């Protein structure tokens, strides 16, 4: 396309890009202009294999006609309807359909507009719940180092990624963090869940001793941490966390914004690991990424505890203009139909072995210090260049894109999460392109 090359790039100035090195990007822009199935098309007409499902969200692949039709139809029927003291049928239908597949039977659904909003919603529900059951001193929220829970003030407060926190002041007060579970020294190249580290769940016990259980409302973790570079839970860790939380009356929140909707080979991580939290946050795959939307799943115990007071009273003073947006609900319903008819909520489990074998073939590629996979998620950790951490990761990302593959990097970890429709040939292409990129790195 005209205008992407040449010295005058003033037309790129107005758009302040998120989580992007704006000035560097605008010197050498990478733009996508179309998408179908497993592929993007770049503005210079190249096919780019999508190794990341966009940003972990396009689980059924791109350009799904059924979603486009449902969205177009809904836009023409009713573009928007308020959801405060008003309803529309699609929001009820979508919630009911979600309740049927709810993680761990958590079948009460609160709609939001994104993962960040889902996280803030879950944290607020946890606080409101504790107060409703007479535990109003429980206001403390516990997250985990290296956790990513979006970018709202709640999410960055319980989150544990330093760059997302340090420029934004004191954040929420009364927050503490468990240690992260990443331990390459003991767990590198585990094909199964990491064997070491279940005892790190005892950090919650330590925080209970430090602060008093009566001050703690909830603990939030990603069952598999995505953004920080694909960290799998050590064997037994989540079970132990659940037990400690239960023992002390602390709500457990799983942030399944990435792991939800089939990414790990089961509908939710909650199902895969058989550990049931009290609240689950989702977004992304909820609408196949086609429209922004999130959902929080709550247990009946949590939900029902808040259905108190006189009937005319609003039970939870929380919600968004776009909670249960009719067009997003239409996209979500069409998405669930696709997931069901194509078996995508569990397909990752059938191709996981092929995926793992392919990624583990990079074990001996230059600089690789760990490979981690679960379902259709992969992390390839490479040794940082001395004095320039992150530079190898970034160069690998740019190299892959130049050769027709979209990957994500966080520091020196390459994170992969292709659409759940990926086939063996495409997996081969992903691995070959990354292997070549690694061999070109110094």
In a 10 Å sphere around its CB, with 0-12 CB exposed, 13-18 middle and 19+ buried, how is residue 309 labelled?
exposed
Piece in contact with ligand PXG (CB under 6 A), picked from 146-154, 160-168, 173-181, 309-317: 146-154
398 forms part of the interface with ligand PXG (CB under 6 A)? no
Q: Is 427 helix (H, G, I), strand (E, B) or coil?
A: helix
Question: Is 234 a binder of ligand PXG (CB under 6 A)?
Answer: no
- Rule CB under 6 A: say whether 260 interacts with ligand PXG: no
**CB nearer to ligand PXG: pick between 150 and 234:** 150
Least distance (Å) from ligand PXG to the CB of residue 269?
11
Instruction: Tell which one of 60, 232, 257, 405 touches ligand PXG (CB under 6 A).
Output: 257
Q: How many CB atoms lie within 10 A of CB 361?
A: 14
Q: Residue 145: which H helix or E strand, with range?
A: none
Residue 115 within binding range of ligand PXG, rule CB under 6 A:
yes
In the complex with ligand PXG, the residue whose CB is nearer, 226 or 418, is 226
Tell me the closest approach of the beta carbon of residue 280 to ligand PXG, in angstroms. Answer: 11
Residues 84-103 that bind ligand PXG (CB under 6 A): none
Residue 243: which of 212, 209, 211, 198 has the closest Cα? 198
Tokens 């239960």: give the residue: 246
The CB-of-226 to ligand PXG minimum distance in angstroms stands at: 5
**H helix or E strand, kind and range, residue 22:** helix 22-27
Picking from 94, 22, 103, the residue whose alpha carbon sits closest to that of residue 282 is 103
User: From residue 204, how far is each of 60, 61, 239, 257 by CA, in Å?
Assistant: 37, 39, 13, 23
- Residue 71's alpha-carbon distances to 124, 235, 290, 326, 352, in angstroms, are 31, 42, 9, 9, 32
DSSP for 111-166, written as a single string: EESSHHHHHHHHHHHHHHHHHHTT-TT--EEEEETT----SSHHHHHH---HHHHT
DSSP state for residue 273 in the 8-state scheme: H
Closest distance of CB 427 from ligand PXG, Å: 20
Count of C-beta atoms within a 10 Å radius of residue 247? 12
Q: Cβ(174)–Cβ(140) under 8 Å?
A: yes
Stretch that binds ligand PXG, among 40-48, 255-263, 298-306, 368-376 (CB under 6 A): 255-263
Range list of H helices, 151-296: 153-158, 162-165, 184-187, 203-211, 237-247, 269-273
CA distance 414 to 84: 42
- What tokens does 422 get? 């990926």
Q: Please, what is the end-to-end C-alpha distance for the chain in angstroms?
A: 33
Residue closest to ligand PXG when measured from CB atoms: 115
Is residue 372 involved in binding ligand PXG (CB under 6 A)?
A: no
Cβ proximity to ligand PXG, 132 vs 264, nearer residue: 264
Single out the residue of 109, 119, 407, 414 in contact with ligand PXG (rule: CB under 6 A): 119
Rounded to a whole number of angstroms, the minimum distance from the CB of residue 229 to ligand PXG is 8
50 binds ligand PXG (CB under 6 A): no
* 156 near ligand PXG, rule: CB under 6 A: no
Binding residues for ligand PXG restricted to 202-231, rule: CB under 6 A: 222, 226-227
Q: Pick from 59, 74, 83, 114: which binds ligand PXG (CB under 6 A)?
A: 114
Check binding of 112 to ligand PXG (CB under 6 A): no
Residue 190 in the binding site for ligand PXG (CB under 6 A): no
CA 419 – CA 37 distance, rounded (Å):
8
Stretch that binds ligand PXG, among 111-119, 160-168, 321-329, 357-365 (CB under 6 A): 111-119
CB of 222 vs ligand PXG, minimal distance in Å: 5
Is residue 149 a contact residue for ligand PXG (CB under 6 A)? yes
Q: Which stretch binds ligand PXG (CB under 6 A): 39-47, 169-177, 203-211, 252-260?
A: 252-260
Residue numbers of the site for ligand PXG (CB under 6 A)? 55-56, 114-116, 119, 148-150, 222, 226-227, 255, 257-258, 283, 408, 415
């Amino acid at each position: 396309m005209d205008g992407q090359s040449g010295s005058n790039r003033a037309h790129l100035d107005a758009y302040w890009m998120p989580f992007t090195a704006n000035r560097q990007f605008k010197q050498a822009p990478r733009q996508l202009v179309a998408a179908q199935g497993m592929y993007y098309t770049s503005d210079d007409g190249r096919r780019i294999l999508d190794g990341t499902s966009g940003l972990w969200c396009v689980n059924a692949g791109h350009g799904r006609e059924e979603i486009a039709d449902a969205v177009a139809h809904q836009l023409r029927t009713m573009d928007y309807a308020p959801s405060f003291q008003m309803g529309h049928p699609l929001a009820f239908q979508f919630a009911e359909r979600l309740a049927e597949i709810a993680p761990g039977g958590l079948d009460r659904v609160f709609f939001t507009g994104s993962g960040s909003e889902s996280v803030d919603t879950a944290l607020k529900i946890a606080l409101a719940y504790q107060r409703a059951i007479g535990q109003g001193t429980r206001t403390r929220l516990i997250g985990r180092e290296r956790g990513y829970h979006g970018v709202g003030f709640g999410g960055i407060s319980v989150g544990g990624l330093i760059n997302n926190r340090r420029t934004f002041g004191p954040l929420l007060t009364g927050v503490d963090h468990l240690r992260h579970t990443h331990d390459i020294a003991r767990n590198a190249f585990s094909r199964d869940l990491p064997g070491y580290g279940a005892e790190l769940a005892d950090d919650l016990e330590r925080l209970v001793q430090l602060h008093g259980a009566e001050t703690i409302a909830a603990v939030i973790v990603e069952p598999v941490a995505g953004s920080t570079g694909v960290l799998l839970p050590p064997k037994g860790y989540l079970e132990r966390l659940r037990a400690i939380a239960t023992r002390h009356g602390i709500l457990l929140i799983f942030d399944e914004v990435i792991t939800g909707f089939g990414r790990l080979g089961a509908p939710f991580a909650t199902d895969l690991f058989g550990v049931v939290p009290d609240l689950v946050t989702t977004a992304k795959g909820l609408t196949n990424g086609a429209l922004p939307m999130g959902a929080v799943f709550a247990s009946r115990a949590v939900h029902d505890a808040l259905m108190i007071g006189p009937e005319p009273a609003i039970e939870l003073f929380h919600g968004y203009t776009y909670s249960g947006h009719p067009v997003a609900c239409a996209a979500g319903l069409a998405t669930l139909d696709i997931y069901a008819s194509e078996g995508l909520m569990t397909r990752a489990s059938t191709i996981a072995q092929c995926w793992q074998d392919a990624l583990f073939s990079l074990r001996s590629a230059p600089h690789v210090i760990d490979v981690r996979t679960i379902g259709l998620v992969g992390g390839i950790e490479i040794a940082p260049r001395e004095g320039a951490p992150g530079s190898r990761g970034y160069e690998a990302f740019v190299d892959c894109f130049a050769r027709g593959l979209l990957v994500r990097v966080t520091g020196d970890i390459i994170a992969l999460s292709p659409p759940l429709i990926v086939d063996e040939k495409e997996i081969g292409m992903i691995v070959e392109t990354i292997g070549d990129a690694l061999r070109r790195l110094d």
